[in-house]
């Protein structure tokens, strides 16, 4: 019952985000950070590892990267840790909103092209085109993970 209520709340909140977000036709088609990319047009691959350190930090390696406006990147993501982790690419403020929602509904599942959740030992990919300049963020929004260091910056510079 609790899962059903959380799922229903997520659907209502998601519909509100989609309706309130200009350029979003029913989801995350165009975002400030960019849009889903065409794998055939990827010009660069970035390997990202997610893991926990011996002293309890939760980390991404690398923890920052630079790309060019208009560039399509293939992120090869490996969860080398012992816990589930996420890679969510967005504006820092949007990740903060999403993190708050995750605190209320920690079992929330995602089906967004800018995010992937991986179990320990699993691999996945995101292909993304960065269509705007600026500083963006990638983060794990599972409760407690961001606070344990699991976030990094993406600097998108002009072509």
Instruction: Indicate yes or no: pTM above 0.75.
Output: yes
pLDDT at position 115 is 96
pLDDT at position 19 is 34
53 phi, psi to nearest 5 deg? -85, 170
Mean pLDDT of the chain: 85
16 pLDDT band, cuts 50/70/90, is very low
Cis peptide before 62, with omega less than 30 degrees from 0? yes
pLDDT at position 110 is 72
The Cα–Cα gap between 11 and 87 comes to 21
Tell me if 129 is assigned to some domain.
yes
The structural domain count of the chain equals: 1
Residue 150 sits in a domain of what CATH number?
2.60.40.420
Tell me if 26 is assigned to some domain.
no
For 102-125, the pLDDT digits (tens) are: 999 877 777 799 999 999 999 999
pLDDT at position 108 is 77
Determine which of 15-19, 22-26, 35-39, 144-148 has the lowest per-residue pLDDT on average.
Answer: 22-26
Determine which of 11-20, 24-33, 42-51, 107-116 has the lowest per-residue pLDDT on average.
Answer: 11-20
Q: How far apart are the first and last CA of the chain?
A: 50
Task: Write down the H helix ranges in the chain.
Answer: 2-20, 92-104
Tell me if 25 is assigned to some domain.
no
- Give the residue-averaged pLDDT of 4-29: 39
151 phi, psi to nearest 5 deg? -165, 160
Q: Can you read off the two tokens belonging to residue 66?
A: 């630079």
29 pLDDT band, cuts 50/70/90, is low
Tell me if 12 is assigned to some domain.
no
Tell me if 75 is assigned to some domain.
yes
Domain span including residue 73: 33-157
pLDDT at position 15 is 39
Using the predicted structure, report yes or no on whether residue 77 has a pLDDT greater than 60: yes
Task: Write down the H helix ranges in 21-158.
Answer: 92-104
Count of other CB atoms within 10 angstroms of residue 112: 16
């Amino acid at each position: 019952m609790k899962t059903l209520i959380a799922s229903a709340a997520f659907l209502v909140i998601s519909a509100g985000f989609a309706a309130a977000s200009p350029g979003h036709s029913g989801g995350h088609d165009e975002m400030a950070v960019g849009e889903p990319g065409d794998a055939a047009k990827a010009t660069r691959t970035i390997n990202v590892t997610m893991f926990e350190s011996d002293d309890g930090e939760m980390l991404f390696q690398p923890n920052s990267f630079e790309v060019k406006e208009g560039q399509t990147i293939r992120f090869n993501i490996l969860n080398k840790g012992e816990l589930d982790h996420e890679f969510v690419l967005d504006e820092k403020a949007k990740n903060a909103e999403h993190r708050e929602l995750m605190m209320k509904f920690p079992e929330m599942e995602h089906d967004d092209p800018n995010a992937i959740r991986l179990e320990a030992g699993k691999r996945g990919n995101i292909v993304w085109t960065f269509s705007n300049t600026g500083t963006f963020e990638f983060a794990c929004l599972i409760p407690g993970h961001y606070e344990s260091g699991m976030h990094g910056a993406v600097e998108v510079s002009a072509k």
